[in-house]
Amino acid sequence: MATIAVRRVVLFFAALQASNGHWPAENAGPLFFVPPLVMCLYITGHLNSIFPTEYWKEILWYIYCHRNEDGGWGLHIEGHNTMFCTALSYICMRILGEGPDGGSLNNACSRARKLILDHGSVTLIPSWGKTWLSILGLFDWYGTNLVPPEFWILCDNPTFP
């Protein structure tokens, strides 16, 4: 029975595999992927060359459509608000040209900013959020949590399981 199950799984995944070897899939659930991508392109000066203005509109629309009713964003499209995703989405909207009170869908920027301030400000954002804010010059590096050097050693070790 186990052999039959394994064969079925192999056939199933082989059928899903694209001709170039990868397994295509939608990855739209997590809401903490797009803002850092926009931030990286902004920091490196490649935002305009990688994403034309029409893409900016689509990214903004994606952000607007996945906002919770009270104006914040969760870790995924059905998640409750988190300071992390609300702050990253707010910054992403601002980078993509929305003003502080902008956001073409129900004043998304002003509502997000109010939510951030009403819940203790970005000082309550998790470590990765503080790191992004510090990279952008929006948060003092002294306020970020230290990452142990062992973490970076593990990341650089191709033999680590």
Domains contained in the chain, number: 1
- Within-domain flag for 74: yes
Q: From residue 45, give the alpha-carbon distance in Å to each of 39, 40, 50, 85.
A: 10, 8, 10, 23
Q: Residue 121: inside a domain, yes or no?
A: yes
pTM (2 d.p.): 0.76
The per-residue pLDDT for range 7-49, each reduced to its tens digit, is 888 888 788 878 877 777 766 688 888 999 999 999 999 999 9
The pLDDT tens digits of the residues spanning 95-116 come to 999 998 876 667 899 999 999 9
104-109 own/partner pairs: CB under 8 Å, 24+ apart: 104/60, 104/64, 105/64, 105/65, 105/67, 106/71, 108/63, 108/64, 108/67, 108/71
Is the residue at 81 inside a domain?
A: yes
In a domain, 56, yes or no: yes
Domain range for residue 83? 33-141
Residue 135 belongs to a domain: yes
Q: What are phi and psi of 30, to 5 degrees?
A: -70, 135
In tens, the pLDDT along 50-81 reads: 888 999 999 999 999 899 999 999 999 889 99
pLDDT score of 41:
93
Position 58 in a domain: yes
Is residue 102 situated within a structural domain? yes
Task: Report the pLDDT value the prediction gives residue 88, as an integer from 0 to 100.
Answer: 96
The three-state secondary structure class of 30 is strand
What's the confidence (pLDDT) of residue 84?
A: 95
Pair of tokens at residue 98: 């929305």
The answer as to whether 19 is a domain residue is no
Specify the CATH number for the domain of residue 42: 1.50.10.20
